[in-house]
Structure 1
Amino acid sequence: MTEVSSLTGRLLVATPALADPNFDRAVVLLLDHDGRGSLGVVLNHPTPVEVGSILEGWETLAGEPGVVFRGGPVSLDSALGVAVIPGSTGPLGWRRVHGAIGLVDLETPPELLVAALGSLRIFAGYAGWGPGQLENELADGAWYVVDSEPGDVSFPRPESLWRAVLRRQRSGLAMIATYPDDPSLN
């Protein structure tokens, strides 16, 4: 098997050409990427469902807009918590993924995490790829791979995250941020 360079902690930004409606203008944080496959959450697809309606006690810890995000098309009946915790060590119930970004064990009592959390988002479902599948999509030009920043997890205006991530790139990708939603109207 070929060695896979890990993209864990990086962002996948959907190209305008990506035709899958699950990933239209999506920004995906990769939580795991190795030779066995990849798993991530879409950071910019909020739902109208409030966090407190499905996870009592977590609503006060969730960042604005305080709703559950659609993490991807896989296992929509499961929940993942992604949090930013500053510092070198995190509390019980949190596992570092990359830098200050990590996964929250939603079985942990929320009060054990409240003092440490910088921000928290709850995701229903996730995006998943089997071995080699993401690499094929990358080779086909479906995604841009860029560095993540802790603020991406709790970006205050999720609908504009796609443009914001592209705009901060120091390359030709910054120009893609101006790509119209419907090029035929341009």
Structure 2
Amino acid sequence: MSSPDHDDKVQNLTGKVLIAMPGMTDPRFQRAVVLVCAHSDEGAMGLVLNHPLPEIKFSELLDQLGIDVEDDARHIEVRFGGPVEPGRGFVLHSVPEYGEDPEGRLRIGRALAMTTTRDILEDLARGQGPQDAVLALGYAGWGPGQIEDEMLENGWLTGDGIEELIFGADHDGKWQQALRAQGIDPSLLSAAAGRA
């Protein structure tokens, strides 16, 4: 059981983005922008927003799952969501700000959710479903206190998730865009931590 003082210091990062700092040592997360989908004292789960997988086509994944792809099927971008369970898919998508969430949908913000059920893939294959959507393969996961420790070690900067970071196609520019949205000039960052 954690102390009340510790609980007061832990900020719930659900719906926030993690921006990899230049000193990030894990090559899978260098210059990564990660949307935190769930965060609690049990750990955190997120999806990388700026590592596309252009060699994987959404329609081919649907075929592998036995889902018929209709002529008006939506083109959905496939991304590397993270190194954990890389064969598992997560659809990150827009949702109405009101209403109840069906089973299998995790609301991340007022108008953003993540769904893991086959139903959403079938809707997208028919040209229906949410207005904005991407498919992430795998996810980023952290154990209890791990994400907080990595932030203290200058591995991540947190910020607000903006729609262009989530659904935008300029993957090469997302890291700089995320930093600028927090008022930080990316050219002024150094990989070395220190004091002035």
State the TM-score bracket (shorter-chain normalisation): 0.7 to 0.9
Give the C-alpha shift of residue 82 in structure 1: 0.5
Counterpart residue number, 1:15? 21
Closer, same or farther: CA 118–98 of 1 in aligned 2, 3 Å: same
Which residue type is aligned with residue 26 of structure 1?
A: A
Which residue type is aligned with residue 176 of structure 2?
A: R
Asked if 1:118 is matched to 2:153, the reply is no
Counterpart residue number, 1:99? 110
**What are structure 2's unaligned runs of at least 5 residues?**
64-68, 192-196
Higher relative strand content: 1
Give the C-alpha shift of residue 55 in structure 1: 2.5
Larger Rg: 2
Counterpart residue number, 2:194? none
Q: CA RMSD in A?
A: 2.7
Asked if 1:84 is matched to 2:97, the reply is no
Deviations 1:14-42 (A, max 9, x none): 00111110001000000001100000010
Deviations 1:94-123 (A, max 9, x none): 432112110123311533896561210101
3-state secondary structure, aligned to 2:167 = coil
Closer, same or farther: CA 12–134 of 1 in aligned 2, 3 Å: same
Give the C-alpha shift of residue 160 in structure 1: 1.3
Q: Which runs of 4+ in 1 moved over 4 A?
A: 56-59, 90-93, 112-116
Alignment of structure 1 residues 1-186 onto 2, 5 Å: 1=2, 2-3=6-7, 4-47=10-53, 48-56=55-63, 57=69, 60-63=73-76, 66=77, 68-89=78-99, 92=102, 94-109=105-120, 110-111=122-123, 117-169=130-182, 171=183, 173=184, 175-176=185-186, 178=187
Q: Which moved more, 1:34-43 or 1:78-87?
A: 78-87
Closer, same or farther: CA 151–106 of 1 in aligned 2, 3 Å: farther
Mapped to 2, the partners of 1:114 and 1:10 lie a distance apart of: 30
Closer, same or farther: CA 114–5 of 1 in aligned 2, 3 Å: farther
3-state secondary structure, aligned to 2:159 = strand
Mapped to 1, the partners of 2:164 and 2:112 lie a distance apart of: 10
Which residue type is aligned with residue 81 of structure 2?
A: G
8 Å contact kept, 1:120–1:153: no
Which residue type is aligned with residue 101 of structure 1?
A: L
Mapped to 1, the partners of 2:61 and 2:129 lie a distance apart of: 23
8 Å contact kept, 1:83–1:102: yes
Give the C-alpha shift of residue 89 in structure 1: 2.9
Closer, same or farther: CA 7–62 of 1 in aligned 2, 3 Å: farther
Which residue type is aligned with residue 71 of structure 1?
A: G
8 Å contact kept, 1:80–1:122: yes
